[in-house]
A and B are shown apart, each in its own frame.
Chain A
Amino acid sequence: MVTGSLKILLGGEGGQGVQSVAAVVAEAAYAEGNEVLYIPNFGVEQRGGVSIAFLQISDQPIAAPKFRYADVVVALSQRAVARTEQYVGLRTVFLHDSAVGGVEDLLAGRAARIIAIPALETCRRESDPKVFNMVIMGALLGQTDAVSLEGAKAAVRGKMGARFAKQPELRELNEWAIDRGMALVAARQ
């Protein structure tokens, strides 16, 4: 369980899997006994829009669905940086994929820390870009005490159970991605 409250904002292109990451972490946080509020936010586009997720995990009931400043912002695309920068405060950790440029210049002096993770590049080189979002989730888990690694993996199994049963290698791939994301963020500490 978390102590106090944790506000996480995720942003990416529609289809990148931002909402899946938020839903999995939310489910895991609920299973671990926290108060949780998760709200997706996107426009009318099925593809090609920026998709945002507000996720709050707390030891107290949560009042407002949205918040002013995030403890952690995760941005997966260039356009997501523009949409999420308004939630960056002096205590915010800004986590982004290395393929997204210009973040250091944009947020210089405005965030507590900026961490670039070569998630997409790692997926392309070592595995499969379709688990990009799970690498990002691993990095998020490594950076916060939102949920345990085991809890997150159990939530992924809960969500993907039917597909994992048909294709056991998918489960391995997803769990590899989560571990890899944690390792990538640990290397940046």
Chain B
Amino acid sequence: MAERPVPEEKRVFMTGNEVVAYAALAAGAEIMYGYPITPQNEIMHYWTRLAPRFGRGFLQTEDEISAGFATLGGVLAGRRAFTGTSGPGHILMQEPMAMAEMMRLPMVAVIQQRGGPSTGTVIYSQQEVTMTVSGGNGEGLRIVYSTARHQELYDYTIKAFNTAWRYRFPTFVLGDGYQAKMREILTIYPPGERGIEMVAGEPYLVGPGEPGTDRPPVHLRNTYNVEEELNATVMELIRAYQAAAPEIAEYQESGTGDAEVVVCSHGVVSRVVEEAVRELRGRGWKVGWFRPVTLRPLAESGLKAVAARAGRLLVVESAHGQFARLLKEVLYGSPAVLETMFKPGQGFTVEEIVARVKEVARGGRS
């Protein structure tokens, strides 16, 4: 066996794409398939530089449709396989992702969101939320972790492999161009040293023995002839997803106990929101923040409880309501007032969020 990619706990200063490559190596990912697109490219660059030293594989395919299907091929062979993409490439990859939902294949994909629609920018956005949680021609039977900082990018990339193989649904780490390109400090570690046991991959196909004689034949389907058969299959998938959802859903909150306004955000925007709320609380404002870590499944009970207490929510996102729509679906029927701050394709500063929260809080008092 080759040397270990992350032999011990270590403080490092690196870009988010480099973090993902190290996390995938530490998680025991065996092969990456991909096609270049900014701002995801350096995941592939670092992976291709590091992977051969640790006996791991890489294949660049002709496009993202192929990269996604090749990832499914790796998974069918029982390998911890992953891919990474962004924007227009992410659109192309929806077909294999939908197949992963139908056949319950544990593909892992890291999405570094860029501006859209279309080619948009190569810089940053949170505009791939809808596509990540419910793209494809299905029911969104996916698991989506939205990270905010490099430490989480490392932690949740490792976790994504385990979640995927434990629950057998396609699993996403949703980052963005800021997280991809920025450099900050984090601690990398071998998962075993933190008590994280990696779930073993196992082949879907080519098991031991003769199919039909020694074992039942494997018959994986993504095509059905009659409506009733498809419906029964999809309902079974949905029931399995719903049963697993409470175990998977994660969220964080702070200051929500006495808050009159709770600021809701996800991903990198959360760190700006946290700082804005910290500043406001320091000056006596009754505000808090709520942040789903999983955008799908969403921590429904946590969100409902916060909405019931606060009465007024402010949703802040670098898209025009893609995240807010996820919250509204859960909050239907809640008397909580939902205010918004949308900046599609653009980042936030602490100052502008502070100003908007004050506006919303004053509105609440009048």
How many angstroms between the C-alpha atoms of A44 and B122 in the bound complex? 6
Total A-B Cβ pairs within 8 A: 60
Pick from B122, B123, B185, B350: contact of A64, CB under 8 Å: B350
Known interface pairs A26-B183, A36-B183, A36-B184. Does A68 touch B275 (Cβ–Cβ under 8 Å)?
A: no
- Of B51-59, B163-171, B197-205, B266-274, the segment with at least 4 beta carbons within 8 Å of chain A is B266-274
How many angstroms between the C-alpha atoms of A54 and B271 in the bound complex? 16
How many angstroms between the C-alpha atoms of A30 and B186 in the bound complex? 11
Known interface pairs A43-B123, A63-B271, A63-B274. Does A38 touch B350 (Cβ–Cβ under 8 Å)?
A: no
How many angstroms between the C-alpha atoms of A35 and B274 in the bound complex? 18
How many angstroms between the C-alpha atoms of A48 and B182 in the bound complex? 22
CB distance from B33 to the nearest CB of A (A): 25
Is B233 in the interface zone, CB < 8 Å from A?
Answer: no
Is A76 in the interface zone, CB < 8 Å from B?
Answer: no
Pick from A30, A42, A66, A67: contact of B13, CB under 8 Å: A30
How many angstroms between the C-alpha atoms of A36 and B352 in the bound complex? 22
Known interface pairs A35-B185, A39-B178. Does A68 touch B13 (Cβ–Cβ under 8 Å)?
A: no
Check if A67 sits within 8 Å of B349, measured CB to CB: yes
* Category for how many chain A residues contact B: 20 to 34
How many angstroms between the C-alpha atoms of A38 and B14 in the bound complex? 10
Known interface pairs A27-B13, A35-B185, A62-B184. Does A68 touch B350 (Cβ–Cβ under 8 Å)?
A: yes
Chain B residues within an 8 Å CB radius of A63: 271-272, 274-275, 350
Interface-central residue, B13, B123, B272, by most chain A CB under 10 Å: B13
Is A182 in the interface zone, CB < 8 Å from B?
Answer: no
How many angstroms between the C-alpha atoms of A148 and B184 in the bound complex? 20
How many angstroms between the C-alpha atoms of A39 and B259 in the bound complex? 33
Chain B residues within an 8 Å CB radius of A26: 13, 183
CB distance from B337 to the nearest CB of A (A): 26
Check if A66 sits within 8 Å of B347, measured CB to CB: yes
User: A29-66, CB under 8 A of B: which get 1 and which 0?
Assistant: 01000011111111110000000000000000011111
Chain B 136-193 residues near chain A, CB threshold 8 A? 178, 181-185
Check if B123 sits within 8 Å of A38, measured CB to CB: no
Check if A65 sits within 8 Å of B183, measured CB to CB: no
Is B348 in the interface zone, CB < 8 Å from A?
Answer: yes
How many angstroms between the C-alpha atoms of A36 and B182 in the bound complex? 10
Interfacial residues, chain B to chain A (CB-CB below 8 A): 13, 38, 119, 121-123, 178, 181-185, 268, 271-272, 274-275, 347-352
Write 6 A-B pairs (CB below 8 A) sorted by A numbering.
A40-B182, A44-B38, A65-B178, A65-B268, A66-B347, A68-B351
